Amino acid sequence: MVPSNQEKSFDILVVDDEEAIGRMLQAGIQLAGYRCRVADGPRSALRLLAEHPVDVMVADIRMPEMSGIELGRIVKARYDADVIIMTGYVDDFNYEDIVQQGASDFIQKPVRIAEFIARLKRVIGERTAKQDRIKALHELELNLNKLHRAMDGIVQAISVVVEKRDPYTAGHQQRVAELACAAARELGLGEDDIYGLRMACVIHDLGKITVPDGILAKPGRLSDLEYQLIKNHVQAGYDILKQIEFPWPLAKIILQHHERLDGSGYPNGLRGGDILIQARILAVADVFETIASHRPYRPSLGMQRAVDELRDNSGTLYDPQVVSVFLRLVEEGRFPDYN
Protein backbone atom coordinates (compact mmCIF):
# COMPACT_ATOMS: atom_id res chain seq x y z
CA MET A 1 0.00 0.00 0.00
CA VAL A 2 1.38 3.42 -0.96
CA PRO A 3 1.74 5.75 2.07
CA SER A 4 -0.26 8.94 2.34
CA ASN A 5 1.24 12.26 1.28
CA GLN A 6 1.99 13.00 4.94
CA GLU A 7 4.00 9.76 5.25
CA LYS A 8 5.97 10.54 2.06
CA SER A 9 7.55 13.50 3.83
CA PHE A 10 9.55 11.21 6.15
CA ASP A 11 13.31 10.88 5.65
CA ILE A 12 15.15 7.67 6.47
CA LEU A 13 18.92 7.09 6.85
CA VAL A 14 20.34 3.58 6.53
CA VAL A 15 23.79 3.02 8.07
CA ASP A 16 25.54 -0.26 7.19
CA ASP A 17 29.14 -1.06 6.26
CA GLU A 18 27.85 -3.72 3.82
CA GLU A 19 26.97 -1.78 0.68
CA ALA A 20 24.65 -4.47 -0.71
CA ILE A 21 22.46 -4.44 2.39
CA GLY A 22 22.35 -0.65 2.41
CA ARG A 23 21.26 -0.48 -1.22
CA MET A 24 18.67 -3.25 -0.78
CA LEU A 25 17.06 -1.44 2.17
CA GLN A 26 17.16 1.87 0.32
CA ALA A 27 15.30 0.36 -2.63
CA GLY A 28 12.63 -1.12 -0.36
CA ILE A 29 12.21 2.12 1.58
CA GLN A 30 11.89 4.21 -1.56
CA LEU A 31 9.44 1.72 -3.04
CA ALA A 32 7.35 2.16 0.10
CA GLY A 33 7.22 5.89 -0.64
CA TYR A 34 9.82 7.35 1.73
CA ARG A 35 12.97 9.34 1.00
CA CYS A 36 16.14 7.44 1.90
CA ARG A 37 19.89 8.05 2.09
CA VAL A 38 22.59 5.47 2.77
CA ALA A 39 25.81 5.87 4.78
CA ASP A 40 28.59 3.27 4.81
CA GLY A 41 29.53 3.90 8.43
CA PRO A 42 28.93 6.01 11.55
CA ARG A 43 31.23 8.90 10.60
CA SER A 44 29.69 9.36 7.18
CA ALA A 45 26.26 9.03 8.82
CA LEU A 46 27.03 11.89 11.23
CA ARG A 47 28.25 14.05 8.32
CA LEU A 48 25.02 13.38 6.44
CA LEU A 49 22.90 14.09 9.51
CA ALA A 50 24.62 17.44 10.05
CA GLU A 51 23.39 18.51 6.62
CA HIS A 52 20.16 16.50 6.32
CA PRO A 53 18.35 15.67 9.58
CA VAL A 54 16.17 12.56 9.30
CA ASP A 55 13.11 11.12 11.00
CA VAL A 56 14.41 7.56 11.38
CA MET A 57 17.92 6.11 11.32
CA VAL A 58 18.37 2.39 10.66
CA ALA A 59 21.82 1.18 11.79
CA ASP A 60 23.71 -2.09 11.87
CA ILE A 61 24.84 -2.92 15.38
CA ARG A 62 28.42 -3.97 14.52
CA MET A 63 30.49 -1.57 12.42
CA PRO A 64 34.24 -0.80 12.47
CA GLU A 65 34.11 2.83 13.69
CA MET A 66 31.56 2.41 16.48
CA SER A 67 28.57 0.23 17.23
CA GLY A 68 25.08 1.09 16.02
CA ILE A 69 24.04 1.45 19.65
CA GLU A 70 26.74 4.09 20.28
CA LEU A 71 25.78 5.86 17.07
CA GLY A 72 22.14 5.72 18.11
CA ARG A 73 22.91 7.38 21.46
CA ILE A 74 24.71 10.22 19.67
CA VAL A 75 21.87 10.67 17.19
CA LYS A 76 19.21 10.63 19.93
CA ALA A 77 21.17 13.28 21.86
CA ARG A 78 21.70 15.59 18.89
CA TYR A 79 18.66 15.09 16.70
CA ASP A 80 14.94 14.44 16.93
CA ALA A 81 15.15 11.05 15.28
CA ASP A 82 14.00 7.50 16.01
CA VAL A 83 16.55 4.69 15.81
CA ILE A 84 16.10 1.14 14.51
CA ILE A 85 18.95 -1.31 15.21
CA MET A 86 19.78 -4.32 12.99
CA THR A 87 22.03 -7.28 13.82
CA GLY A 88 22.82 -10.78 12.75
CA TYR A 89 24.30 -11.52 16.18
CA VAL A 90 21.01 -12.24 17.90
CA ASP A 91 22.60 -14.40 20.57
CA ASP A 92 24.70 -11.45 21.82
CA PHE A 93 21.82 -8.97 22.18
CA ASN A 94 18.19 -8.98 23.23
CA TYR A 95 15.28 -6.72 22.35
CA GLU A 96 14.79 -5.29 25.85
CA ASP A 97 18.42 -4.19 26.22
CA ILE A 98 18.44 -2.51 22.83
CA VAL A 99 15.19 -0.64 23.45
CA GLN A 100 16.33 0.44 26.93
CA GLN A 101 19.31 2.12 25.25
CA GLY A 102 17.01 4.32 23.18
CA ALA A 103 16.18 2.30 20.08
CA SER A 104 12.61 2.27 18.81
CA ASP A 105 12.93 -1.24 17.35
CA PHE A 106 15.39 -4.14 16.90
CA ILE A 107 15.46 -6.18 13.66
CA GLN A 108 17.26 -9.46 13.05
CA LYS A 109 19.47 -10.03 10.00
CA PRO A 110 19.13 -11.32 7.38
CA VAL A 111 16.39 -8.76 6.90
CA ARG A 112 13.17 -9.70 5.14
CA ILE A 113 12.21 -6.52 3.33
CA ALA A 114 8.43 -6.91 3.85
CA GLU A 115 8.88 -7.34 7.61
CA PHE A 116 11.38 -4.46 7.71
CA ILE A 117 8.97 -2.06 5.97
CA ALA A 118 6.16 -3.12 8.32
CA ARG A 119 8.36 -2.41 11.35
CA LEU A 120 9.50 0.89 9.84
CA LYS A 121 5.89 1.95 9.30
CA ARG A 122 5.07 1.08 12.91
CA VAL A 123 7.93 3.28 14.16
CA ILE A 124 6.84 6.11 11.85
CA GLY A 125 3.23 5.72 13.00
CA GLU A 126 4.23 5.93 16.67
CA ARG A 127 6.46 8.90 15.86
CA THR A 128 3.57 10.68 14.12
CA ALA A 129 1.23 9.99 17.04
CA LYS A 130 3.80 11.36 19.49
CA GLN A 131 4.29 14.51 17.40
CA ASP A 132 0.51 14.96 17.19
CA ARG A 133 0.26 14.70 20.99
CA ILE A 134 3.04 17.26 21.43
CA LYS A 135 1.33 19.58 18.96
CA ALA A 136 -2.01 19.14 20.73
CA LEU A 137 -0.43 19.87 24.11
CA HIS A 138 1.24 22.97 22.67
CA GLU A 139 -2.06 24.20 21.25
CA LEU A 140 -3.76 23.47 24.59
CA GLU A 141 -1.10 25.50 26.37
CA LEU A 142 -1.63 28.39 23.96
CA ASN A 143 -5.37 28.25 24.51
CA LEU A 144 -4.92 28.15 28.28
CA ASN A 145 -2.66 31.20 28.07
CA LYS A 146 -5.32 32.99 26.03
CA LEU A 147 -7.94 32.01 28.58
CA HIS A 148 -5.76 33.29 31.43
CA ARG A 149 -5.25 36.59 29.64
CA ALA A 150 -8.99 36.89 29.03
CA MET A 151 -9.77 36.13 32.69
CA ASP A 152 -7.10 38.61 33.79
CA GLY A 153 -8.72 41.26 31.66
CA ILE A 154 -12.19 40.53 33.04
CA VAL A 155 -10.98 40.52 36.64
CA GLN A 156 -9.02 43.74 36.18
CA ALA A 157 -12.10 45.37 34.65
CA ILE A 158 -14.18 44.29 37.66
CA SER A 159 -11.49 45.71 39.96
CA VAL A 160 -11.67 49.08 38.19
CA VAL A 161 -15.46 49.14 38.55
CA VAL A 162 -15.15 48.49 42.31
CA GLU A 163 -12.57 51.22 42.76
CA LYS A 164 -14.67 53.72 40.84
CA ARG A 165 -17.45 53.07 43.36
CA ASP A 166 -15.02 53.46 46.27
CA PRO A 167 -12.31 55.90 45.09
CA TYR A 168 -11.00 56.47 48.62
CA THR A 169 -9.58 52.95 48.62
CA ALA A 170 -8.19 53.08 45.06
CA GLY A 171 -5.30 50.63 44.69
CA HIS A 172 -6.25 48.74 47.85
CA GLN A 173 -7.17 45.50 46.08
CA GLN A 174 -4.01 45.52 43.95
CA ARG A 175 -1.81 46.15 47.00
CA VAL A 176 -3.55 43.38 48.91
CA ALA A 177 -2.91 41.05 45.97
CA GLU A 178 0.82 41.83 46.00
CA LEU A 179 1.07 41.26 49.75
CA ALA A 180 -0.98 38.05 49.70
CA CYS A 181 0.89 36.50 46.77
CA ALA A 182 4.28 37.26 48.34
CA ALA A 183 3.16 35.51 51.52
CA ALA A 184 1.58 32.59 49.64
CA ARG A 185 4.82 31.95 47.76
CA GLU A 186 6.75 31.86 51.04
CA LEU A 187 4.16 29.45 52.45
CA GLY A 188 4.80 27.05 49.58
CA LEU A 189 1.57 27.36 47.61
CA GLY A 190 1.85 26.27 44.00
CA GLU A 191 1.98 28.86 41.25
CA ASP A 192 -1.49 27.90 40.00
CA ASP A 193 -2.98 28.41 43.48
CA ILE A 194 -1.13 31.72 43.78
CA TYR A 195 -2.51 32.81 40.41
CA GLY A 196 -6.04 32.05 41.64
CA LEU A 197 -5.36 33.86 44.92
CA ARG A 198 -4.21 36.94 43.02
CA MET A 199 -7.43 36.97 41.01
CA ALA A 200 -9.52 36.68 44.19
CA CYS A 201 -7.54 39.48 45.85
CA VAL A 202 -7.97 42.01 43.07
CA ILE A 203 -11.77 41.66 43.27
CA HIS A 204 -12.21 40.74 46.94
CA ASP A 205 -14.32 43.87 47.56
CA LEU A 206 -16.55 43.24 44.52
CA GLY A 207 -19.65 43.13 46.72
CA LYS A 208 -19.17 46.80 47.64
CA ILE A 209 -20.87 47.73 44.36
CA THR A 210 -24.11 46.91 46.21
CA VAL A 211 -23.33 49.36 49.03
CA PRO A 212 -24.67 52.94 48.65
CA ASP A 213 -22.04 55.54 47.72
CA GLY A 214 -22.82 57.64 50.78
CA ILE A 215 -21.82 54.81 53.10
CA LEU A 216 -18.65 53.92 51.20
CA ALA A 217 -17.40 57.52 51.24
CA LYS A 218 -18.73 58.47 54.68
CA PRO A 219 -15.92 60.25 56.57
CA GLY A 220 -17.33 59.66 60.05
CA ARG A 221 -18.22 56.63 62.12
CA LEU A 222 -20.74 54.22 60.60
CA SER A 223 -24.03 53.42 62.32
CA ASP A 224 -24.83 49.80 63.17
CA LEU A 225 -27.14 49.55 60.15
CA GLU A 226 -24.51 51.05 57.85
CA TYR A 227 -21.90 48.66 59.20
CA GLN A 228 -24.21 45.70 58.52
CA LEU A 229 -24.57 46.89 54.91
CA ILE A 230 -20.79 47.07 54.61
CA LYS A 231 -20.39 43.58 56.10
CA ASN A 232 -22.83 42.21 53.53
CA HIS A 233 -20.33 42.92 50.77
CA VAL A 234 -18.69 39.49 51.18
CA GLN A 235 -21.99 37.68 50.64
CA ALA A 236 -22.85 39.98 47.75
CA GLY A 237 -19.50 39.30 46.10
CA TYR A 238 -20.00 35.57 46.54
CA ASP A 239 -23.50 35.73 45.06
CA ILE A 240 -22.19 37.56 41.98
CA LEU A 241 -19.40 35.05 41.31
CA LYS A 242 -20.78 31.72 42.51
CA GLN A 243 -22.33 30.75 39.17
CA ILE A 244 -19.09 31.35 37.25
CA GLU A 245 -16.96 28.20 36.89
CA PHE A 246 -13.48 29.56 37.54
CA PRO A 247 -10.65 27.01 37.90
CA TRP A 248 -10.13 28.35 41.43
CA PRO A 249 -12.60 28.86 44.32
CA LEU A 250 -12.70 32.64 43.87
CA ALA A 251 -16.25 33.03 45.19
CA LYS A 252 -15.48 31.07 48.38
CA ILE A 253 -12.21 32.92 48.99
CA ILE A 254 -14.06 36.23 48.75
CA LEU A 255 -16.92 34.94 50.95
CA GLN A 256 -14.48 33.84 53.68
CA HIS A 257 -11.92 36.65 53.77
CA HIS A 258 -13.56 38.25 56.83
CA GLU A 259 -13.86 34.97 58.75
CA ARG A 260 -11.56 34.63 61.78
CA LEU A 261 -9.91 31.59 63.36
CA ASP A 262 -11.87 31.87 66.62
CA GLY A 263 -15.24 32.04 64.86
CA SER A 264 -15.76 35.76 65.50
CA GLY A 265 -15.72 36.71 61.82
CA TYR A 266 -18.48 36.95 59.25
CA PRO A 267 -20.68 36.02 57.47
CA ASN A 268 -20.75 32.39 58.72
CA GLY A 269 -18.58 32.37 61.85
CA LEU A 270 -16.23 29.73 60.44
CA ARG A 271 -13.34 28.50 62.57
CA GLY A 272 -9.76 27.37 61.95
CA GLY A 273 -9.33 24.83 59.18
CA ASP A 274 -12.89 25.38 57.92
CA ILE A 275 -11.54 28.58 56.35
CA LEU A 276 -9.70 28.14 53.05
CA ILE A 277 -5.95 28.79 53.33
CA GLN A 278 -6.27 31.33 50.49
CA ALA A 279 -8.95 33.18 52.48
CA ARG A 280 -6.74 33.13 55.59
CA ILE A 281 -3.88 34.67 53.59
CA LEU A 282 -6.19 37.26 52.04
CA ALA A 283 -7.58 38.13 55.50
CA VAL A 284 -4.14 38.95 56.87
CA ALA A 285 -3.13 40.92 53.76
CA ASP A 286 -6.42 42.85 53.83
CA VAL A 287 -6.12 43.79 57.50
CA PHE A 288 -2.46 44.72 57.16
CA GLU A 289 -3.04 46.94 54.11
CA THR A 290 -6.18 48.53 55.56
CA ILE A 291 -4.48 49.58 58.80
CA ALA A 292 -1.33 50.79 57.07
CA SER A 293 -3.14 52.86 54.42
CA HIS A 294 -5.25 56.03 54.44
CA ARG A 295 -9.02 55.68 54.74
CA PRO A 296 -11.76 58.33 54.30
CA TYR A 297 -12.55 58.18 58.01
CA ARG A 298 -8.92 58.33 59.25
CA PRO A 299 -5.31 58.82 58.17
CA SER A 300 -2.90 55.89 57.85
CA LEU A 301 -2.18 54.25 61.19
CA GLY A 302 1.24 53.16 59.93
CA MET A 303 3.03 49.89 59.40
CA GLN A 304 3.93 49.41 63.05
CA ARG A 305 0.26 49.49 64.03
CA ALA A 306 -0.47 46.91 61.33
CA VAL A 307 2.37 44.72 62.62
CA ASP A 308 1.08 45.03 66.21
CA GLU A 309 -2.44 44.02 65.10
CA LEU A 310 -1.16 40.85 63.45
CA ARG A 311 1.19 39.95 66.28
CA ASP A 312 -1.39 40.58 69.03
CA ASN A 313 -4.09 38.48 67.34
CA SER A 314 -1.99 35.71 65.81
CA GLY A 315 -3.60 32.36 66.57
CA THR A 316 -6.93 33.88 67.64
CA LEU A 317 -8.11 35.99 64.71
CA TYR A 318 -5.40 35.26 62.17
CA ASP A 319 -3.58 32.14 61.00
CA PRO A 320 -0.27 32.06 62.94
CA GLN A 321 1.72 30.64 60.02
CA VAL A 322 0.49 33.39 57.71
CA VAL A 323 1.21 36.05 60.33
CA SER A 324 4.71 34.66 60.88
CA VAL A 325 5.48 34.92 57.16
CA PHE A 326 4.08 38.47 57.00
CA LEU A 327 6.16 39.63 59.93
CA ARG A 328 9.29 38.10 58.44
CA LEU A 329 8.67 39.79 55.09
CA VAL A 330 8.18 43.11 56.88
CA GLU A 331 11.44 42.65 58.82
CA GLU A 332 13.26 41.82 55.57
CA GLY A 333 11.92 45.00 53.98
CA ARG A 334 10.05 43.14 51.26
CA PHE A 335 6.79 45.06 51.79
CA PRO A 336 6.36 48.76 50.92
CA ASP A 337 6.73 51.21 53.78
CA TYR A 338 3.30 52.76 54.46
CA ASN A 339 4.56 55.28 57.02
Q: Which of 8, 109, 121, 208 is catalytic?
A: 208
**C-alpha 275: how far from chain center:** 26
Distance CA 147, CA 145 (A): 5
Phi, psi of 136 (to 5 degrees): -65, -40
Distance CA 202, CA 204 (A): 6
Cα first-last separation, the chain: 80
CB 335 within 8 A of CB 329: yes
Going 291 to 301 to 163 to 171, the CA torsion angle's sign is negative
The Cα-based distances of 202 to 87, 211, 255, 267 in angstroms read: 65, 18, 14, 20
Q: Checking phi first, is residue 188 left (phi over 0); if not, alpha (psi -120 to 50) or beta?
A: left
Four-point Cα dihedral 177, 181, 182, 183, nearest 10: 110
Task: List all residues 6 or more positions away from 212 whose beta carbon is below 8 Å from its beta carbon.
Answer: 229
Distance CA 161, CA 203 (A): 10
Residue 164 falls in the annotated catalytic set: no
Distance CA 228, CA 328 (A): 34
Query: Where are the strands (E) in 90-170, listed by range?
Result: 105-108
| Omega before 110 within 30 of 0, i.e. cis | yes
Estimate the crossing angle of helix 320-331 against helix 277-292, to 10 degrees: 40
Nearest 5 degrees, angle CA 325-CA 328-CA 334? 105
Catalytic residues: 208
